[in-house]
Amino acid sequence: MKAQELRQLFFEFFSSKGHAIVPSAPMVVKNDPTLMFTNAGMNQFKDIFLGNHQPVHKRVANSQKCLRVSGKHNDLEEVGHDTYHHTMFEMLGNWSFGDYFKKEAIEWGLELLVKRLGIPEDRLYATIFEGSKEDNVPRDDEAFGFWEKCFKNPEGRIIEGSKKDNFWEMGETGPCGPCSEIHVDIRDDEEREKIPGKDLVNKGHPHVIEIWNLVFIQYNRKSDGVLEQLPSQHVDTGMGFERLCMVIQGKKSNYETDIFQSVIKEISMITGKQYGLNEKWDIAMRVIADHLRAVSFSIADGQLPSNNKAGYVIRRILRRAVRYGYNNLGIEEPFIYHLVPVLVNTMGTQYPELQKGKEQITKIIFEEETAFLKTLGKGLKMIEKMISDLKKEKKNVLSGKIAFEMYDTFGFPVDLTQLILKENDMHLDLSGFEVEMKNQKNRSREDASTEAADWIVVMETEGTEFTGYEKTEDEVRITKYRIVKIKGKESCQLVMNKTPFYAESGGQVGDTGIITSGNEKIEITDTVKENNLIIHIAKKLPSDPSKVFRASVDIEKRQMTANNHTATHLIHFALRSVLGNHVEQKGSLVTPDRLRFDFSHFSKLSREELSRIEELVNIMVREDHNGKIVTGISLEKAKSMGAMALFGEKYGDTVRVVEFGKSVELCGGTHVESTGRIGIIKIVSEGAIAAGVRRIEAVTASKAEEYINEKIKTLDEVASLLKSSGNITDSVEKLLSENSSLKKSIEKFQAQSVTIMLKELVDKAIMINDIRYISGHIETESADLLKNIAYQVRSSSENTVLVIGSESGGKANILVMISDNLVKERNLNAVAVIKEIASDINGGGGGQPFLATAGGKNPAGIDNALKKAGEYIRNI
Ligand code: ATP
Ligand code: MG
């Protein structure tokens, strides 16, 4: 069965059991400070489990793009070395939100695998939670009972497991519960007879592996560690799609399935090396095939490789692939980008975003590969130098600190460092390296350290009503609060029954303002969203949280933010009109002061294009379009209205459409009533931020006025300096041309005076050691002029050494010229002379045997340096 059909069969199976089949959430997570990438199917349902959000359907199933390369789940180091862990993989899952529980989950799990997919029951094993005294949780007898009933022959098929494998927790606090894993034994019969499969479960055997995990969420862990029963129980399951494919297609490795084969074949074509012949090659091919998917899907989701956070994780994945290609397959040219079309062919139907982003993905991968291969080249040179230094010092251990620096600053892989050292009979101080690595990890952990106390409930309610689209002030009650310590600093988080405060999302910053009750006034410094909860960050806890408060948003900032948000939409629209429909939003930031808009486009915007865009948006401002806002409609409906879809929408979300004239966008932000309020939009910068992604920054209203006035003021100042009443450009051009002709005359005069000075020096030449020795000061600003003279002397006289010192702008310069015949016959070297005397002027220099120069900070030392040069010649 082909992968495509298998995925479909899974959907049909759960659909027949009353599940709604929902799309995968994006793999790159926005708006969640605790998670960079989706690492399990349940992530997008987190707020349902936490009780912050009511589910639309009580039963859903899907295939979720997951990435396990950071945080709690990090499989990166396994990938390629084993045959069943990926960085990016698809997780098939079915969920019950307070609906069915263990019985159905177990029954259907076995029905699908055994009856529908034909996996022989005697190859399957189920694990159950053995219980924990510490947590006061009993053995999961319930699950045991259902497995016992559902297996035809349960003898030896059900295994007890510990907390590590069989108790799932969302985080340090929150929903959790026992789980049951299904493992499958795909070994040949001969081997199965030797060792029973049940002895190999959870032992890391590549052919006895976990394929499905059924989690039964029934507890909530509080911050003091105690578990309490949840009012309603949920099911959360996850099955590795690639592993299931391997089993169903009768393969022994995920990479032998049709999901990976076409990419692996392409790698073989490019490298001329066949898969399956050499373990070292195979590992590299697996790494590359896997990482290609992770990087391509991330870029398609809007996360480009960069130097920090999620972007850095992606960059490192790609670099790992390049490195395996370089080390194991000997490829020194960019080549991974060539694989993108094959990947798109394999997965583009199920994931259209991949198809859509094809061109951009290819370009970005090419650019990253090229840059990293250069780093590798540079790093190799650095290592060569370090090795030669070590050899000189007769040492054979490279310090961990240096290796860490190479790794951390230049991205140079430590295993490559080790390999090269080994080839030179040297080694790395690995423990020193590990200490540095640990220190860095600790530093970043401290940076991110957040301690949150449990929520204290003041009043039971159903979520928070957001009233901020209509109002900027409202009467509110605090429903719960908690004290949070971030990097040692305490603040208070408040949740309310309703709020006019907009929580940071969709690029728009959160509202600030105050809440008051009687004489008490508490500042709200930010508003954020966490798992769909609107959280107000307050400087302190109100003395009596149960009171009624007047919540007031800072209106000026809100208005300025709204100006910028609406302006962002107009700019998006104008970009598409002027540049074409390939322009897509790649990110945005809307603050009260300015706006930033990132979009896909492949070349620098010309002056004309920028003027045209600015002109268009300002026309739309003056046309004063009223904002039309439609809320609570489905994604499909919104798209049919012509709204531009953004990434980040999840299943179950109803969307909001914001229309200003011809600009129609999906957006949850706050906007102006009509575009006239914006006053004026001024683009202040345009540039590239990655291959195929550009950034525009702009200001509006009073900030635009300030910007324009500042520019005019500068022009006025220039005009008054020029004493020009007419055209400033003409005046400046005239000034520049005068300046250049003055420069020319000065150079001429200088050349003349230098020639005179030189003649004086030549007249005073003395003979030392049969060499004509010319030495002294020449005052000139131009180092080039000095060199010119030296060349003149060199070409016109033999047997001469010229040593000149000059001072300009508080700095000292020295030049040493030696006639060619002396270089040849008496083995004199100007560089050696310079090295000898440069310390006197507090500097350093170099050059060639016939001409060397040095610059330094101490002009007072010139005389000494000249004297030393004379002695040097005397002593040869
Ligand atoms: P393992 O012990 O094999 O790493 P896990 O315990 O981390 O698995 P879960 O977190 O329970 O796995 O995820 C559910 C399912 O997702 C697993 O049963 C497995 O089939 C699949 N899975 C987990 N991690 C990966 C991965 N890195 N690559 C491919 N599939 C995976
Ligand atoms: Mg794992």
Residue 8: other Cβ atoms inside 10 A: 15
Residue 648, pLDDT score: 58
Helix axes 141-150, 102-110, angle to 10 degrees: 30
Ligand 1 atom showing the smallest separation from residue 215 Cα: 11
Q: What is the pLDDT at residue 88?
A: 97
Q: Which ligand gives the minimal distance to the CA of 66?
A: 1
Query: Measured in angstroms, how far is the CA atom of residue 425 from the centroid of ligand 2?
Result: 37
The protein residue with its alpha carbon nearest to ligand 1, atom 21, reads 240
- Cβ < 6 A, ligand 1 pocket: 68, 75, 85-86, 89, 91, 210-213, 238-240, 242-243
| Ligand located closest to 79 CA | 1
Residue 316 alpha carbon to ligand 2 centre in Å: 20
Which atom of ligand 1 approaches the CA of 78 most closely?
Answer: 27
User: Ligand 1, closest atom to CA 75?
Assistant: 27
139 CA from centroid of ligand 1 (Å): 23
| Ligand 1 atom at shortest distance from the alpha carbon of 182 | 18
CB 646, CB 655: distance < 8 Å: no
**What mean pLDDT do residues 388-397 have?**
91
Taking residues 638-662, report their average pLDDT.
77
Report how far ligand 1's centroid is from the alpha carbon of 9 (Å).
21
Rounded to the nearest angstrom, the distance between the alpha carbon of 85 and the centre of ligand 2 is 8
Cα torsion 167, 168, 171, 174: sign? negative
CA of 578 to the centre of ligand 1 (A): 47
pLDDT digits (tens, 9 = 90+) for 774-815: 999 988 877 788 888 888 888 888 999 999 999 988 899 999
Region 620-646: what's the mean pLDDT?
86
Cα 398 to Cα 696: distance, rounded to the nearest angstrom: 46
- Residue 662 pLDDT > 70: yes
What region does 198 belong to: left with phi over 0, alpha with psi -120 to 50, or beta?
alpha
Cα separation, 41 vs 34, whole angstroms: 16
- If one residue of 179, 243, 287, 293 were mutated to test the ligand 1 pocket, choosing by the most ligand atoms within 8 A of its CB, it would be 243
Side chain identity at residue 835, one-letter code: K
Residue with CA nearest ligand 1 atom 16: 240
**Which ligand is nearest the CA of 65, by number?**
1
Atom 11 in ligand 1: which residue has the minimum CA distance?
Answer: 213
Residues 6 or more apart whose CB falls under 8 angstroms from that of 655 comprise 633, 634, 635, 638, 643, 649, 666
CB 27 within 8 A of CB 59: no
Q: Which residue's C-alpha comes closest to atom 31 of ligand 1?
A: 240
Per-residue pLDDT tens digits for 500-552: 999 998 899 999 999 999 999 999 999 999 878 899 999 999 999 999 999 99
**pLDDT value, residue 448:** 62
pLDDT for position 452: 82
**pLDDT over 70 at 650, yes or no:** no
Q: How far apart are CA 414 and CA 432, in angstroms?
A: 12
Index of the ligand 1 atom closest to the CA of residue 209: 3
> For residues 249 and 197, is the Cβ–Cβ distance under 8 A?
no
Q: Tell whether the model's pLDDT for residue 304 goes beyond 70.
A: yes
239 CA distance to ligand 1 middle (Å): 7
Ligand 1 centre and the CA of 186: distance in Å? 17
For residue 854 the two structure tokens come to: 């040095």
Name, in order, each residue with C-beta under 8 angstroms of 310's C-beta and a sequence gap of 6 or more. 28, 36, 37, 298, 303
Would you say 188 and 197 are in contact if contact means Cβ atoms under 8 Å apart?
A: no
pLDDT at 782: 77
Give distance in angstroms: CA of 240 to centre of ligand 1: 6
Q: How far is CA 637 from the centre of its chain?
A: 33
Instruction: From 83, 89, 210, give the residue whose CB has the most ligand 1 atoms within 8 Å, as the site to mutate.
Output: 210
What pLDDT band is residue 34 in, cutting at 50, 70 and 90?
confident
Number of Cβ within a 10 Å radius of residue 427: 12
- Give pLDDT, residue 382: 86
Structure-derived torsion over alpha carbons of residues 398, 402, 407, 412, reported in degrees to the nearest 10: -60
The CA distance from 672 to 678, in Å, is: 8
Ligand 1 atom with the smallest distance to the CA of 87 is: 27
Instruction: Give the number of the atom of ligand 1 that is nearest the alpha carbon of residue 168.
Output: 11
pLDDT at 379: 85
Residue located nearest, by CA, to atom 24 of ligand 1: 85
- The mean pLDDT value for 333-360 works out to 94
The per-residue pLDDT for range 716-733, each reduced to its tens digit, is 999 899 887 778 899 899
Q: Locate the ligand 1 atom nearest the alpha carbon of residue 254 and give its number.
A: 29
* Residue 609, CA distances (Å) to 123, 203, 577, 613 in order: 65, 62, 11, 6
In the chain, what are the helix, strand and coil shares in percent, each to the nearest 5? 45, 25, 30
78 CA distance to ligand 2 middle (Å): 10
For residue 246, how many other CB atoms are within 10 A of its CB? 26
> Which residue's CA is the closest to the ligand 1 atom numbered 1?
210
Spacing, Cα 86 to ligand 1 middle (Å): 9
Percent of the chain clearing pLDDT 90 (strictly above):
70
Which atom of ligand 1 is found nearest the CA of 91? Answer: 16
d(CA 298, CA 304): 7
Mean pLDDT for the stretch of residues 167-174: 87
pLDDT at 652: 62
Whole-structure pTM value: 0.74
**651: pLDDT strictly greater than 60:** no
pLDDT tens, position by position, 475-508: 999 999 999 988 778 899 999 999 999 999 889 9
**Long-range contacts of residues 605-611, Cβ cutoff 8 Å, at least 24 apart:** 605/579, 605/686, 605/694, 609/578, 609/579, 610/683, 610/686
Mean confidence (pLDDT) of the chain:
92
Dist. CA 286–CA 329, nearest whole Å: 12
Side chain identity at 620, as an amino acid letter?
A: M
Ligand with smallest separation from the Cα of 76: 1
Write down the pLDDT at residue 779: 84
The secondary structure of residue 19, as a DSSP letter, is: P
- At 444 the pLDDT is 66
Average pLDDT (332-354) is 94
Pocket residue to mutate for ligand 1, from 85, 90, 169, most atoms within 8 A of Cβ: 85
Distance from the alpha carbon of residue 301 to the mean position of ligand 1, in angstroms:
22
Beta bridge partners of 159: 127
CA quadruple 528, 531, 533, 539: dihedral positive or negative?
negative
Q: Alpha-carbon distance 553 to 561, whole Å?
A: 12
Q: What is the pLDDT of residue 568?
A: 97
Ligand at shortest distance from the CA of 39: 1
**CA–CA gap between residue 498 and residue 511 (Å, rounded):** 14
Q: Which residue pairs from 452-455 have beta carbons closer than 8 angstroms and sit at least 24 positions apart in sequence?
A: 452/173, 452/223, 452/482, 452/483, 452/484, 452/485, 452/493, 453/223, 453/482, 453/483, 453/484, 454/173, 454/222, 454/223, 454/224, 454/482, 455/480, 455/481, 455/482, 455/495
State the distance from the centre of ligand 2 to the C-alpha of 73, rounded, in angstroms.
6
455 has a pLDDT exceeding 70: yes
- How open is the CA angle 390-393-399, to the nearest 5 degrees? 45
pLDDT band with cut points at 50, 70 and 90 for residue 689: confident
Beta-strand pair 427-428/456-457: unpaired
Distance 75 CA to ligand 2 centre (A): 7
> Do 292 and 281 meet the contact criterion of CB atoms below 8 Å apart?
no
Asked whether the predicted pLDDT for residue 195 surpasses 70, the reply is: yes
Closest residue by Cα to atom 22, ligand 1, is 240
pLDDT score for 32: 72
Name the closest-CA residue to atom 5, ligand 1.
210
Percent of the chain, pLDDT > 70?
98
Q: Hey, which of 27, 77, 83, 89 would you mutate to test ligand 1's pocket, going by the most ligand atoms within 8 Å of its Cβ? A: 89
Which residue is closest in CA terms to ligand 1's atom 12? 213
